[in-house]
Structure 1
Amino acid sequence: KVRETGKGESIDIAMYEVMLRMGQYFMMDYFNGGEMCPRMTKGKDPYYAGCGLYKCADGYIVMELVGITQIEECFKDIGLAHLLGTPEIPEGTQLIHRIECPYGPLVEEKLDAWLAAHTIAEVKERFAELNIACAKVLTVPELESNPQYVARESITQWQTMDGRTCKGPNIMPKFKNNPGQIWRGMP
């Protein structure tokens, strides 16, 4: 448009909105009929232990166990401090390879057990102390009341062609000068 009009466009999108769009069908099944798709739990990094989707006592988190201090302190918590400084996990290790490190599967096993014994709030508090990146994975019912989703109007409603109210993700990305809109239901 800038070539035609001399006026550019401002595009606004949050990273989570891309994922929201990708999961829209499952979300819409919940919003418009109460059907919840079973959680898929294969979201662990294929190469590195401690990276990806993990189950806590009350839900799921995503995390990245990366860094010398982070690994040292986390290993103390999960009962594997004795492995630090070995030929397999030398001092200064910043990532634990899931396959190449012979202890990769054990790290996963111990981490899974530790996380399963703690709530998301407890894990987030401890990981904040250790500077381990992690975030709670929201459930579909939590999306509607999440302050960021509300502020960005990420969830909206519209009328279907047969007059029913339908709820789902809003238009994204947002264009400042030429905003998108839902102007009719899908045939």
Structure 2
Amino acid sequence: MWKNMNKPDFGVLDGLKVVHSATNMAGPMGATMLADHGADLIWLENPRIPDTSRSGIPLTVEIERRNCRTLALDIPSPQGREIFKKILEDADIYIEGWKPGTLAKWGLSDDVLWSWNPKLVIVHVSGYGQSGDPEYYTRGGYDAIGQAASGFMNQNHGAVAPFSCDAQAAMYIAFSSLAAYYRVCKTGVGESIDLSQVEIMMRQQLYLSDYATNGRTYGDESKKSATIAGWGPFTAADGQDIYVVGIGGNTMRKGADWLGLKYGSELNPEGNSIIAKGTAAGDEWDRVLTEYIASVPAATAEKELLAHSIPCTRIMTYEDVLNTEHWKMRGTFTTYKSSHGYDINSVAPMPHMANRPGQVWRGAPSLGMDNEEILGELGFSAEEIEKLYADGVINKRPVEDFRQ
């Protein structure tokens, strides 16, 4: 039985055992979300070809592989398979992200894994799913691919941001695995989850369902709303943009009235909460917002709009975010030591828990950093571990400096 004796007792998921062999972002990010709230997490990594993220964007590994231990294991090898079996026999959740069909090709189908552990929750993460048209489900899936293939990129006239698809998928990985685990605790029967990143991005789009139901299309939403007036960025006198979402009952009653759209008038009737784009009222709402915001500095516009119940914010830079006192007061950011010994400043585990908060207890491990510890917990002797190294079943590399 494996258990990390060095992990502090913390979080609402303390005692949950999670294993992942996913790469890049979505799968590992979902696993890290669980570990941030106390789950005991083991990362199984290819001993010969390290995770792509190790050579990608600086600090990717440090942020999305924190709070875990790593075992660099050749899973399909005979010895690796036996070690894999010992690990999963004692796991609650297993997350994998290989090309669909890879585990089955290795003789490690869901049924085989359940023969080892009938209660195991298995999460298969891929771009297009585990079944369907082979022309699709055999394709590689990455963040931008998920945005492009789901219609999301077209609707927004370009990729929205790096990792937006990965982050959405990660939240569904965390949610669905815990939902399945809740059911397993009641029934004792494991579950297999087929999570497609493209499908997740489809699920996030109301406009896609509207098109499927009504054939309705929407204009360019990459900047201002194509359907709602008063929604989007407006430029202040000092050149800084303010993003306004000018909707809601109080906004119409107080804010629009303050800017000249008298509440109760034909353009702003009582009970109104949204002004449609392309109408006389919509044109006027956009005009008065544009003219007012352009006449004053961004800080003044933000203060006055908020004072009159018009939701808005200056479009913040990272420097602005880090210097905002509100986030400091909430403990939004945390500092922890990397395995290399330097400080990592990162967003703390989210969301905030009142009674059992999450924490970062460890930076990202280097390849195979915890081989001996994990294998020792599984009952392997020092001599047996040395032979696994000699046979290429496990591997280890020096601690890396991910700042470069």
TM-score, normalised to structure 1's length? 0.56
Do the aligned partners of residues 167 and 125 (structure 1) sit closer, same or farther apart at CA in structure 2, a change above 3 Å counting? closer
Match of 1:72 among 241, 244, 257: 257
RMSD over aligned CA atoms reads 3.9
* Distance in 1 separating the partners of 2:286 and 2:333: 36
Q: Given the alignment, which residue of 95, 98, 106 partners 2:274?
A: 95
> CA, structure 1 residues 186+148, in 2 after alignment: closer, same or farther (shift >3 Å)?
farther
1:172 aligns with 2:350: yes
**Judging changes above 3 Å, is the alpha-carbon distance between structure 1 residues 158 and 178 closer, same or farther for their aligned structure 2 residues?**
closer
Contact 2:338 2:362 in 1 (8 A): no
In structure 2, how many angstroms separate the alpha carbons of the residues matched to 1:90 and 1:145? 38
Question: Are the counterparts in 2 of residues 42 and 53 from structure 1 also a CA contact under 8 Å?
Answer: no
Amino acid aligned to 2:242: I
Question: Is the 8 Å Cα contact of residues 171 and 180 (structure 1) preserved in structure 2?
Answer: yes
Q: Secondary structure at the match of 1:123?
A: helix
1:159 corresponds to 2:331: no
For 1:97, what is the secondary structure of its paired residue? Answer: coil
Look up the equivalent residue of 1:62 and give its one-letter code. Y
Which amino acid is the alignment partner of residue 227 of structure 2?
Answer: Y
Change (3 A) 1:164 1:43: farther
| Counterpart Cα distance in 1 of 2:344 and 2:357 | 24
- Specify the alignment match of 2:227 in structure 1: 47
Residues in 2 aligned to 1:69 and 1:163: alpha-carbon distance in whole angstroms: 53
Task: Give the distance between the partners of 2:357 and 2:303, measured in 1 at CA.
Answer: 42
Cα distance change on mapping 1:155 and 1:120 into 2, 3 Å: same
| 8 Å Cα contact 1:158-1:185 kept in structure 2 | no
- The amino acid across from 2:276 in the alignment is H
> How far does the alpha carbon of each residue in 1:84-120 deviate from its partner, in whole angstroms, 9 at most, with x for none?
955xx26435432113x14534542452243122112
Kept after mapping to 1: 8 A contact 2:230/2:282: no
1:63-98 C-alpha deviation (Å, 9 max, x unpaired): 34331443233136xxxx7xx955xx2643543211
Distance 1:90 1:111, change over 3 A: closer
Q: 1:181 to 1:118 in 2, by over 3 A?
A: same
By relative contact order (CA 8 Å, sep 6+), the higher-ranking structure is 1
Give 3-state SS (helix, strand or coil) of 2:328's partner.
helix
Matches of residues 115-130 of structure 1 in structure 2 within 5 Å?
A: 115-128=293-306, 130=308
Match of 1:34 in 2: none
**Distance across 2 between alignment mates of 1:128 and 1:44:** 19
**Distance (whole Å) between structure 2 residues aligned to residue 106 and residue 186 of structure 1:** 57
CA distance in 2: counterparts of 1:165 and 1:159, whole angstroms: 5
Bigger Cα Rg: 2
* 1:75 maps to amino acid: G
* Structure 1 residues without counterparts, runs of 5 or longer: 1-7, 10-20, 30-38
- Distance in 1, Cα, partners of 2:351 & 2:268: 45
Sequence identity percentage: 14
Q: Distance in 2 between matches of 1:174 and 1:186?
A: 25
Kept after mapping to 1: 8 A contact 2:233/2:242: yes
Report the number of matched residues. 146
Alpha-carbon spacing, 1:149–1:184, altered in 2? closer, same or farther (3 Å): same
Q: 1:117 to 1:182 in 2, by over 3 A?
A: farther
- Structure richer in strand, relative to its length: 1
Paired amino acid for 2:259 = C
Q: How is 1:12-51 mapped onto 2 (pairs within 5 angstroms)?
A: 42=222, 44-51=224-231
